[in-house]
Amino acid sequence: MRIGVAALLAGILVVLHPVANAQKNNKEARQEERREERLEGIRRDLQESTDRVALRMRKGFNREPLINGYINALGQKLIPPDAPSDLKLSFRVIEATEPNAFALADGRIYITTGMIAFAENEAQLAAVLGHEIGHVTREHLVNSIYRQRYGKVATATKIAGTALGILSRGNKNSGAEDLTTIGVGLFSALTGARYAREQEKEADRVGLERALALGLDPAEAGKLWDKMYQRFGEPSSVMALFSGHPTHSKRGELVREVVSTDLALAREVAERAGPLQLGSASFSRLTSVVRRDSGIQMAELLDRYDLALEGLEAVLSVRPDDAKLLWAIGRIHNLTERPTGDSSLALQFLQRAAETDKRGLFPAIHRDLGYAYATSAEDFPKAVESLQAYVDGYIRKHGTYPPDLETIYDYMGLFGNSDWNAPGFPNENTQISLSHRSYTAPAWQTPGGATVEGSESFLREAYEVARKDQQQGAAGSE
């Protein structure tokens, strides 16, 4: 009898087992369908504000075709083969002195001129781009927001988010939960809601695997972030707005962990085929303009003469006859060198700059050379000659007198030449103002053509656009 009951129960279970499995599978399918609907809703919610932020970013675009072509070509090679075919990634260089890179959720990736200049080789540059590619292709931004909206921590973080007033813009038809991006503002979510440690590791793994596939040494990534921390400390407030990454001091640790564990076997196999490379020979040549101009801005805008000189001197081997480069190095030495018995480095570089500017593109080289000569009374005649060359060159280039002509006349008298007049003076067709006693050299008279007011302002504008979207979304959800 017992055997009969057991057999009967077993038979019932056999009959019910497929039914239970079918119900379980149906439930899982519905849950996955619901999850995908929510993810798609997040993507939609993000896109409008992402486009507005990207529009502001256009103000900061670097327009140099060679460097943009190089960065885009490198970025496209780093996209993993399993990336969705309909995902179109783009890579743009933006003008900002601080080294950084970040990605928008839809695949628009930005790298600053400061980062290109800071990277010592193509392997380091590939690690930076590959990391952002990893975040995009694995949808870390969207998944972070999903967890914040629908995860177990949603209730607590919603309270924190509301208290901070950084609720995201939402769709009124998608329910109360969909009206908030929990815990971070959209301005952070667009470019990197604080990534989880595992997401950071995955992004590094994706990027470094592709770099390794191109024969580049992944160990260079750790060197980059160690140097970043040594030179700059932690990220500034401007760039922190556009970064969800760990601090500089932690980036090197994370990268080395990935290289020594996840990539250990792949790297060993790659090294058997031959030594890993630092990158192509085109890196130094194609990035030289950006590295030169970034070094100039480091000096002109930030007074970081150590970093500026380090970067500019590294470009000399590629551009030995670049008048703009030589001029910038001469200006820095003129400000920082200490008196010695040797010939002045400032004079050496400024003289070379004046000699190589055969097209007369930078007449102010002669002005700075004249000021450098003026530090020694015995060189006053050379100072006069250089200042005259400055005025002549400025007139030829611009068709008018330099705005600091009164200052030049004052110095001419000081140097023993009170009779000299600028060519053609007075001239009824040329207007000149002699009210520049508190004269400050405008942007066109510095090697970088940079102004403090315009530097990175587009980043703050983009941040403000996203922040306002936050506030409007919060108001609409009440």
Output the domain CATH number for residue 325. 1.25.40.10
Is residue 367 domain-resident?
yes
pTM higher than the cut 0.85: no
- Dist CA 108 CA 92 (whole Å): 8
Side-chain half-sphere exposure of 387, counting CA atoms within 13 A:
29
Q: Is the model more confident about 14 or about 254?
A: 254
- For the segment 389-406, the average pLDDT, to the nearest whole number, is 91
Is residue 400 domain-resident?
yes
Identify the top-confidence range among 149-163, 196-210, 283-297: 283-297
Q: Are residues 23 and 172 in the same domain?
A: yes
Which range among 78-82, 97-101, 210-214 shows the weakest confidence by mean pLDDT? 97-101
At residue 356, does pLDDT exceed 70?
yes
Each residue's pLDDT tens digit, 28-74: 778 788 888 888 877 787 777 778 777 777 888 898 999 999 999 99
Output Rg (C-alpha) for the chain, integer angstroms: 30
What is the predicted pLDDT for the residue at 39?
Answer: 81
Total of domains in the chain: 2
Q: Is the model more confident about 401 or about 41?
A: 401
Is residue 296 domain-resident?
no
What is the predicted pLDDT for the residue at 150?
Answer: 81
What is the predicted pLDDT for the residue at 217?
Answer: 94
Q: Are residues 333 and 427 in the same domain?
A: yes
What is the predicted pLDDT for the residue at 191?
Answer: 44
Each residue's pLDDT tens digit, 416-430: 888 888 886 544 444
Q: Are residues 111 and 198 in the same domain?
A: yes
Is residue 451 domain-resident?
no
Confidence of residue 461 (pLDDT cuts 50, 70, 90): low
Which range among 29-38, 158-167, 193-202, 342-351 shows the weakest confidence by mean pLDDT? 158-167
What is the predicted pLDDT for the residue at 253?
Answer: 83
Q: Are residues 110 and 153 in the same domain?
A: yes
Is residue 285 domain-resident?
no
Confidence of residue 477 (pLDDT cuts 50, 70, 90): very low
What is the predicted pLDDT for the residue at 170?
Answer: 35
Q: Is the model more confident about 290 or about 97?
A: 290
Q: Are residues 425 and 472 in the same domain?
A: no
What is the predicted pLDDT for the residue at 146?
Answer: 80
What is the predicted pLDDT for the residue at 388?
Answer: 94
Q: Are residues 140 and 224 in the same domain?
A: yes
Do you find a cis peptide bond into 426, omega within 30 degrees of 0?
Answer: yes
Backbone angles phi, psi at 102, to 5 degrees: -155, 165
Q: Is the dihedral of CA 301, 304, 305, 311 positive or negative?
A: negative
Residue % of the chain over a pLDDT of 90: 37
What is the predicted pLDDT for the residue at 380?
Answer: 93
Each residue's pLDDT tens digit, 89-140: 999 999 988 888 988 888 899 999 999 999 999 999 999 999 999 999 988 7
Residue 301, both tokens: 């805008």
Sort strands 108-112 and 101-103 into parallel, antiparallel or unpaired. antiparallel
Q: Are residues 166 and 32 in the same domain?
A: yes
Confidence of residue 383 (pLDDT cuts 50, 70, 90): very high
Q: How far is CA 120 from the centre of its chain?
A: 15
Each residue's pLDDT tens digit, 292-311: 999 998 898 888 899 899 99
Q: Kindly report the number of other CB atoms within 10 A of residue 129's CB atom.
A: 28
Residue 299 carries which side chain, given as an amino acid letter?
Answer: A
At residue 395, does pLDDT exceed 70?
yes
For 72, counting Cβ atoms within 10 Å of its Cβ (0-12 exposed, 13-18 middle, 19+ buried), the class is middle
Is residue 457 domain-resident?
no
* Segments forming the whole domain that contains residue 159: 10-277+462-477
Q: Is the model more confident about 40 or about 2?
A: 40
Is residue 295 domain-resident?
no
Confidence of residue 153 (pLDDT cuts 50, 70, 90): very low
- Dist CA 230 CA 233 (whole Å): 6
Q: Are residues 248 and 331 in the same domain?
A: no
Average model confidence (pLDDT) for the chain?
Answer: 77
Q: Are residues 99 and 129 in the same domain?
A: yes
Q: Are 64 and 286 in contact (CB under 8 A)?
A: no
Sort strands 101-103 and 90-94 into parallel, antiparallel or unpaired. unpaired
Q: Are residues 341 and 405 in the same domain?
A: yes
Residue 216, both tokens: 């580049």
What is the predicted pLDDT for the residue at 442?
Answer: 41
Residues pairing with 216 in the sheet: 277
What is the predicted pLDDT for the residue at 35?
Answer: 81
Q: How far is CA 315 from the centre of its chain?
A: 20
- Dist CA 340 CA 335 (whole Å): 14
Q: Are residues 270 and 308 in the same domain?
A: no
Q: Is the model more confident about 451 or about 399?
A: 399
What is the predicted pLDDT for the residue at 274?
Answer: 87
What is the predicted pLDDT for the residue at 17?
Answer: 60
- For the segment 439-464, the average pLDDT, to the nearest whole number, is 51
- Alpha-carbon distances of 432 from 41, 73, 429, rounded to whole Å: 61, 49, 10
Confidence of residue 464 (pLDDT cuts 50, 70, 90): low
Q: Are residues 268 and 310 in the same domain?
A: no
Is residue 450 domain-resident?
no
Q: Are 78 and 207 in contact (CB under 8 A)?
A: yes
- For the segment 328-353, the average pLDDT, to the nearest whole number, is 88
